Amino acid sequence: MKAVFIQKHGSADVLEYGERPMPVPGPADALVRLAACGVNFIDIYHRGGLYKIDLPFTLGVEGAGTVEHVGSGVTDLAPGDRVAWAMEPGAYATHAKVAAWRLVKIPPQTSFESAAAAMLQGMTAHYLVHSTFPLAARHTALIHAAAGGTGLLLVQMAKRLGARVIGTAGTEAKAALAREAGADEVILYSQTDFAAETRRLTSGAGVDVVYDSVGKTTFEGSLNSLKPRGMMVSFGNASGAVPDFPPLLLAQKGSLFLTRPNLAHYATTREEIAWRAGDVLGWIGEGSLKLRIDKSYPLSEAAQAHRDLESRATAGKLILIP
C-alpha cells in the first residue's frame, strides 16, 4: 500500500511517500480502505518530535473510508461499511488498521471528505464546550485561532450553547470567517493586545473561560483575560509548548483553574465516541454545523499540506485524498 511516513523527526521535508507493508488487522480491528484523511496540527507535533512516537511512523490520526475486512471478534461492522475515526495512527495511507471500537458509521448523506474533516476537530470542540468547561448562556468565552479548523467548529458549538464568544485571528480575512461562524467580537491578536481588548470588551470583568490552542505566545495573555476563578483550557501548542511556570502564578492572576486536556481522554469508550461523533456528524448532516474544508491535496502532497498549516496560511480544515 502507499503511505506517508517518517524515519526521522524534522521539517515537512522528512515526509516520505512510498510503499509500506499492508497492516494486518487483529481480532478486534478492521482494515479500512481510505477515501480521505484529515490533516491536524498533532501530525506536525508527531513529525517534529514534540509528541513522542516510535519511528518509523505512518502519519495521520484521522480518516474515513470503506471497511474491507474485519477481525474475528468484530460483530457490528462488515465489509462495505462506510466508517470514520480519529486518534489512531496510520491514516496518511491507502489502507489503515483501526480498532473497531473507535469506528463510527458515516451517515448516508455525509461524504467521506466531510467525515474525515469532522471527526478529530469536531469531537475536540465538542468535549471542550460540553465536558471540559460546560458552556452556558451566562458565560463569555475567549477562543484563540477562531478561524482554524478546530476554532471554527468551537465558535459554532459555543454559540449553540448560547455563550458570548470573543475570538482571535491572525488576519482580517480570518476574522471575517470567525464572525461568519458566529463570534460576537474578533480581535486581531497579531496587531492588538488581546488581553487588554478582552478586558475592554467585558467592561473590565474578564472572561469565564479561555480555549487556548496557540500555547506559547498566548498563554500569559490568556491568564490575564480571565475573571477571578476563571478556567484556562490550554489545549494546543501551535506556536510552541507553554514554558514551565510556578503554580503561584495562578493565584496571583485570580485563583485561576488550569487544565491541559487531550481528546484521547474524552473519547475513551465506544459510547463516548458515539455521543460526540453522533452529535457532530448529525449537526453537519442537518446543516446546523458548517464545515470549512479549506483545501484538499493528493496524499503524495502531504508535505505541502503541513507547510501550509504551520505557516498559518490556512483557515478551516485540510484533507488528503489517497
Binding site for ligand NDP (CB under 6 A): 40-42, 120-121, 124, 145, 147-151, 169-170, 174, 213-214, 217, 235-239, 261-263, 309-310, 312, 314
Q: Give me the least distance between CB of 22 and ligand NDP, in Å please.
A: 28
The full DSSP string for 144-183 is SSTTBHHHHHHHHHHHHTT-EEEEEESSHHHHHHHHHTT-
Specify the residue, 270 or 312, whose C-beta has the smaller distance to ligand NDP.
312
Per the structure block, which three cell numbers stand in for 93? 495511507
Q: Give me the least distance between CB of 239 and ligand NDP, in Å please.
A: 3
Supply the angle between the helices 41-48 and 302-310 in degrees, to the nearest 10: 100
- Position with the least CB separation from ligand NDP: 148
Q: Give me the least distance between CB of 137 and ligand NDP, in Å please.
A: 25
99: number of Cβ within 10 Å: 17
List all residues 6 or more positions away from 58 whose beta carbon is below 8 Å from its beta carbon.
Answer: 3, 4, 5, 20, 89, 90, 91, 92, 93
Specify the residue, 184 or 310, whose C-beta has the smaller distance to ligand NDP.
310
Which candidate, 177, 172, 133, 120, places its Cα nearest to that of 152?
177
Specify the residue, 90 or 236, whose C-beta has the smaller distance to ligand NDP.
236
Please state the φ and ψ torsions of residue 222, each to the nearest 5 degrees: -65, -45
Specify the residue, 25 or 149, whose C-beta has the smaller distance to ligand NDP.
149
List all residues 6 or more positions away from 296 whose beta carbon is below 8 Å from its beta carbon.
Answer: 36, 113, 318, 319, 320, 321
Q: Give me the least distance between CB of 111 and ligand NDP, in Å please.
A: 20
Contact call for residues 71 and 28 (beta carbons, < 8 A): yes
List all residues 6 or more positions away from 244 whose beta carbon is below 8 Å from its beta carbon.
Answer: none
Q: Give me the least distance between CB of 70 and ligand NDP, in Å please.
A: 28
Specify the residue, 103 or 169, whose C-beta has the smaller distance to ligand NDP.
169
Specify the residue, 90 or 170, whose C-beta has the smaller distance to ligand NDP.
170
**What whole-number distance in Å separates Cα of residue 100 and Cα of residue 48?**
29
Tell me how far the alpha carbon of residue 120 is from its chain's centroid: 5
Reported as type and span, the H/E element at residue 188 is strand 185-188
List all residues 6 or more positions away from 246 whose beta carbon is below 8 Å from its beta carbon.
Answer: none
Pairing of strands 164-169, 185-188: parallel
Specify the residue, 90 or 151, whose C-beta has the smaller distance to ligand NDP.
151
Q: Give me the least distance between CB of 310 and ligand NDP, in Å please.
A: 5
**What whole-number distance in Å separates Cα of residue 50 and Cα of residue 208?**
30
Q: Give me the least distance between CB of 252 and ligand NDP, in Å please.
A: 25
Q: Give me the least distance between CB of 217 and ligand NDP, in Å please.
A: 6
Specify the residue, 238 or 302, whose C-beta has the smaller distance to ligand NDP.
238
Q: Give me the least distance between CB of 289 and ligand NDP, in Å please.
A: 15
Please state the φ and ψ torsions of residue 111, each to the nearest 5 degrees: -80, 160
